[in-house]
Amino acid sequence: DQQVKQNSPSLSVQEGRISILNCDYTNSMFDYFLWYKKYPAEGPTFLISISSIKDKNEDGRFTVFLNKSAKHLSLHIVPSQPGDSAVYFCAARRGGGNKLTFGTGTQLKVEL
């Protein structure tokens, strides 16, 4: 049972444009959400997070939006850069717990 879903396995965007990565979840107990970025042969690195008490969190070029009623979150990257090309994982956590539940990832390719 996949509780965190990333339905787009890949996304291709032109440099300078906006990249939008989507994530859906089914467990209403999740109250903290994170995005991780992963380059080949490296471990995931934390990018940005959002608590369920917020609907938006921004950090530089990265903004995460949370729609609790739709159980949906999205990561916006603007402007996209070639160095943003990586696999992006959405993750969720419940109640200050220790486990992260991850989606299957979206491969972002930013083209020149």
Residues in touch with another protein (CB under 8 A): 2, 4, 6, 32, 34, 36, 41-46, 49, 51, 89, 91, 93, 96-105
Rounded least distance, CB 102 to another protein, Å: 4
Instruction: Report the alpha-carbon distance of residue 106 to residue 73 in Å, rounded.
Output: 14
Which residue, 34 or 77, has its beta carbon nearer to another protein?
34
| Shortest spacing between CB 52 and another protein, in angstroms | 12
d(CA 48, CA 58): 8
In terms of CB distance, is 4 or 80 closer to another protein?
4
**Which of residues 19 and 33 has its CB atom nearest to another protein in the complex?**
33
The answer to whether the beta carbons of residues 76 and 19 sit under 8 Å apart is: yes
| Minimum CB distance to another protein, residue 59 (Å) | 13
Instruction: Pull the structure tokens for residue 24.
Output: 């859906």
Alpha-carbon 3 to chain mean position = 14
Whether the upstream peptide bond of residue 79 has omega within 30° of 0, thus cis, is yes
Return the SS3 of 32: strand
Q: In angstroms, give the least distance from the CB of 100 to another protein.
A: 7
Closer Cβ to another protein, 78 or 100, answer by number: 100
